[in-house]
Amino acid sequence: MTFPATTAFYTGLFAMLYVGLSAWVVATRVNSDVLHGDGGNETLEKRIRAQGNFGEYVPFAVLLIALLEAGGSGHTLVQSLLIVLLVARILHPFGMLAPKNSAQQYACRGGGILATFIVIAVAGIALLLR
């Protein structure tokens, strides 16, 4: 088994993105004087969900990709999955704050989660075929 160096590098980028999302939530909490929950603040609720969604999907996707890389999968597949996942997770929060039923909401939020699902599915299938 090889050390998944490419996945490790991107995991560092994902960590920075997660810290940014967390800071975004904390700043909104401070500005809104909300210590717990969302306090009925719709913007805070959306930011909390954007951060939560990241925490729910990214670790599993990264684990699947790391297993692929450690198992000797091609660099192109690993790099492609990581790039798509990174772009998807950058777009998703912008879609969370977009106006309801807007093109931005569909492209960023919908596109972000759809791309995340595709990455997880492709990585899962690739692992099953190994």
Summarised one tens digit per residue, pLDDT across range 84-128 is 999 999 999 999 989 999 999 999 999 999 999 999 999 999 999
Burial (CB count <10 Å: 0-12, 13-18, 19+), residue 32: middle
Question: Degrees (nearest 5) of the Cα angle 94, 96, 97?
Answer: 70
Domain boundaries, the chain: 5-129
**pLDDT at 63 exceeding the cut of 90:** yes
Distance CA 74, CA 68 (A): 8
**5-129: CATH architecture:** Up-down Bundle (1.20)
Question: Other C-beta atoms within 10 Å of 49: how many?
Answer: 16
Question: Other C-beta atoms within 10 Å of 38: how many?
Answer: 18
In angstroms and rounded to an integer, the radius of gyration of the C-alpha atoms of the chain is 16
Under 8 Å between Cβ of 65 and 84: no
2 band by pLDDT with thresholds 50, 70 and 90: confident
pTM to 2 decimal places: 0.93
Under 8 Å between Cβ of 1 and 71: yes
Identify the pLDDT of residue 57: 98
Identify the pLDDT of residue 101: 92
Distance CA 123, CA 61 (A): 8
pLDDT in tens, 37-48: 999 999 999 999
